[in-house]
Amino acid sequence: MSVYRTKIADQCRLITVTWCKNLLLHGLSVSVDGSSGDGQYTCKVELKPWYFWRKQGSKHFLVDSKPVDIFWDLKAAKFNGETEPSSEYYVAVVCDEEVILLLGDLKKDAYRKTGCRPALIEPILVSRKEHVFGKKKFSTRVKFHDKGRMHEISIECKNRNGVDPEMEIRIDGKSFIHVKHLQWKFRGNESIHLNKVRIEVYWDVHDWIFNPGLRHALFIFKPVSELSSPPFSSSASTPLSSQTGSSGSIEGLNSNNSSDFCLFLYAWKVE
C-alpha cells in the first residue's frame, strides 16, 4: 500500500493505492481522501483471469462531486512473483484534464491514452506499507526518495543455541544494524547513514519473542535531515503500533526538516 500527497479536486489530498492478490482475483484499489477528512472515495479494479479485457481499461468515479478517471494497462505487466507489478504497465489518475498521479514505466502510453497533460504539482510519496512472510529472513525493495534508486532491505532473525536471539538488518547486502540479546532489546531504534542520507530505523519484535505462532514484527524506516528530531520514542514499554496508530499512519509525525517518506514493514514469522 502506497500513500501519495497531491492536489486533486481543488484540494491537497492523500491518494492511497493498494494492490491485492488471492486465489480468485488480482487487482488494485485507488482511494482519495474526502474534504475535511470526510471518509474516502474508492475505485476498485479487479483483474479476474477469465476477463482478459479487464487488463486494460478505465473507470470513472466522483470525489466531492468532481469527476475522476482511472486508466490502466496491465496486459504485459511483469509481476516477478509479487503482488505489485515492476515494469511494462501504467496506472493513471486523471482529474480536470490533468494526470495527477502516474504509476509504472509506460508513461508515454499513458499520456497518449488519456489525452491529458501532466499535473503542474508533482505528487509526493508519503508512506508505504508492506507485509512480508518468512521463517528467519525477510526482505523487500524500496526507494527512500522518488528520484533515488531501489534498495534491497533484508532482516534476519537468528537464535544462538536456542536461547539468545539476535537480529541483523542489511541494506544492499551491507550490515547496518546488529542487535544481540533481542529478548532484552525487542524494541528500539538506531540512526544509519545511506548515501549521505540519515535514516531512522525503528523495530518492535516483541511478538516474535514472546508470542509464538503467526505473529508480526514492525519495522519503520524514515529518512530525516540532520536537523530534525526522531518522530518516535524508543521506549521498550511502548509498542510502535500505538505510536503510529493501527493503520500505520504518519499523519502529524513529519517535521519541516524531515523527509515526507516513511516505510512501514510488517514481518510475519511463519514457524
DSSP state of 54: G
pLDDT in tens, 44-96: 888 766 555 568 889 999 998 899 999 999 888 898 888 888 899 999 999 99
Question: Rg of the Cα trace of the chain?
Answer: 20
The confidence score (pLDDT) of residue 82 equals 82
The confidence score (pLDDT) of residue 197 equals 87
The confidence score (pLDDT) of residue 253 equals 38
Average pLDDT, the chain: 83
Average pLDDT for 211-217: 81
The confidence score (pLDDT) of residue 40 equals 85
As given in the structure block, the three cell numbers for residue 213 are 505462532
Return d(Cα 148, Cα 37) in angstroms, integer.
Answer: 31
Question: How distant, in Å, are the alpha carbons of 91, 102, 108 from that of 105?
Answer: 9, 9, 9
Q: How many residues does the chain have?
A: 271
Average pLDDT for 140-144: 88
Backbone angles phi, psi at 84, to 5 degrees: -100, 135
- Other beta carbons within 10 angstroms of residue 122's beta carbon come to 12
Q: Mean pLDDT highest for which of 140-144, 174-178, 213-217?
A: 174-178
Q: Which secondary structure element, helix H or strand E, spans residue 243, and what is its range?
A: helix 240-244
Contacts of 219 (CB under 8 A, 6+ apart): 155, 169, 201, 202, 203, 204, 263, 264, 265, 267
Each residue of 160-198: b (16+ CB within 10 Å) or e?
Answer: eeeeebbbbbbbeeeebbebeebeebbbbbeeeebeeeb
- Other beta carbons within 10 angstroms of residue 121's beta carbon come to 13
The more confident residue out of 24 and 102 is 102
As given in the structure block, the three cell numbers for residue 248 are 500505520
pTM, two decimals, is: 0.79
Is 35 a residue whose pLDDT tops 90? no
The confidence score (pLDDT) of residue 20 equals 87
The confidence score (pLDDT) of residue 241 equals 56
Residue 236: pLDDT band (50, 70, 90) is: low
Looking at the chain, the whole-number percentage of residues with pLDDT higher than 70 is 83
Name the amino acid, one letter, at 79.
F
The confidence score (pLDDT) of residue 30 equals 93
pLDDT in tens, 164-190: 899 999 999 999 999 999 989 999 999
Q: Which secondary structure element, helix H or strand E, spans residue 241, and what is its range?
A: helix 240-244
HEC assignment per residue over 98-136: EEEEEEECCHHHHHHHHCCEECCCCCEEEEEEEEEEECC
